[in-house]
Amino acid sequence: MEFSLESTPLVELHSRHATAYKERQRTPPRSLVVHAVAFSWFAFVWCWHLTPAASQLPGNQGFGWFFRFLTFYSFSLQTLQLGMATVDDLQRTWYGKSRWTKPTDDLACAIFAFTHVVSIMFYTIQGTTKLAVEGGHVQRPPWLDVSVHAFNTLTAWADLISSDRRSFSRTSERLSSVLVVVYLSYLMLCRHMNGRFPYPVLNALSFPWGFSMLIAAGLVIFVLAFRAGKVMNKKLRHINLSIRITERVERVSSSSSSDSEGEGGSASSDDGSSSGSAGQQPRRRQYLQLGLTRSRRSAAVRQ
C-alpha cells in the first residue's frame, strides 16, 4: 500500500484553504465597476472641452480657461480621483495592496463637499435668477449640464457607498481647505485679468459685501456636506465591518463542521476524543462571537 502525503487530511485541508484564499484575493472589489465606469464617462466629458465644439463656449475664451469655473475645477479633481481609484482597485486585485489607497482616499473625501456645493448652488441660482452660467444662451450638448452638475454628486455618493476605504480624516479636511483657498485665489486672479467674475450672479452682486455673502453661503454648504459625508461614512464602515465579521464567523463555522464530518470515521474509534471535539465547537463559536463584539467596540473607539 503506497502512502501519499497529498492524501492526508491535514494537507488537503491546507490546500483547500489556500485555494479559497487565492480566489478571494483575485476577486475584484465591488468599487472597481463604479470607478471604472464613472472615470470613463468623466474622462470623455473632460476631453470634450478640448474639441472645437467647446471652443464656442465663453469659458474657452479669456484668462483662466474653464478652470475659472468651480464646476470645471471640481470636475477635473473628481476625474483625477476616479482614475486614481480605478488604479487602486486594480492594484489591490492583482497584488493585494496598493500605494494609491491613501492619496485616493484623501482626495475623494476632500472633493466630496465640492460636488454638493456645485450642484446645490447651480440649481438654486439657475432656478431663481438664471444667472448661474456665463453665456447661458449658447447651445450646449444636452448631456453636459447634467454630467457636471448632477452626476458629480451622484458619483461621489456611489464612491462613498461602494468603497470601504473612505476615512474623512484630518488630512482630507486640510486638503479640502487648501483646495478651497486655491480656487478662491484663482477666482480673484481671473477677475483681475478679465475685469469681471466668470459667474454673472457675482457680477450682479455688490463687491465685496454681496460677493462675501455668496461665498459664505457656499462655505456653509461645503462644511455641512463634509460633515454629512463623515457621519454617513462612519455608519457604512460599521455595517461593512459587521458584514465581514459575520461572513468570517459563518465561513469558519462551516469549515469546522465539514472538517469534523470528514474525520468522523477516524474519531468513532475513540469516544473520548470525538466528544471532546464536539464540545469544542460551541466554545469556538462563542470565541468568534466575542471577537465580533470586541471588533465592533474597537472600531467605534477608532472612529
184 pLDDT above the threshold of 90: yes
The string of pLDDT tens digits covering residues 146-157 is 999 999 999 999
| Total residue count of the chain as it appears in this document | 303
Question: Measuring CA to CA, which residue among 293, 146, 131 is closest to residue 198?
Answer: 131
| Domain residue ranges in the chain | 25-222
The top-scoring range by mean pLDDT among 77-86, 201-210, 243-252 is: 77-86
**What is the pLDDT, as a whole number, of residue 61?**
86
pLDDT-derived band at 249 (thresholds 50, 70, 90) equals: confident
- Output the CA–CA distances (angstroms, integers) from residue 213 to 177, 185, 207, in the order listed: 18, 17, 10
Mean pLDDT of the residues in the chain: 81
Distance CA(292)–CA(248), nearest Å, equals 10
Distance CA(163)–CA(173), nearest Å, equals 19
Q: How many alpha carbons lie under 13 Å from residue 180 in its C-beta half-sphere?
A: 23
**What is the pLDDT, as a whole number, of residue 292?**
59
The percentage of the chain sitting over the pLDDT mark of 70, rounded to a whole number, equals 70
In the chain, what's the furthest Cα-to-Cα distance? 97
**What is the pLDDT, as a whole number, of residue 257?**
62
Grid coordinates belonging to 142: 444636452
pLDDT-derived band at 6 (thresholds 50, 70, 90) equals: very low
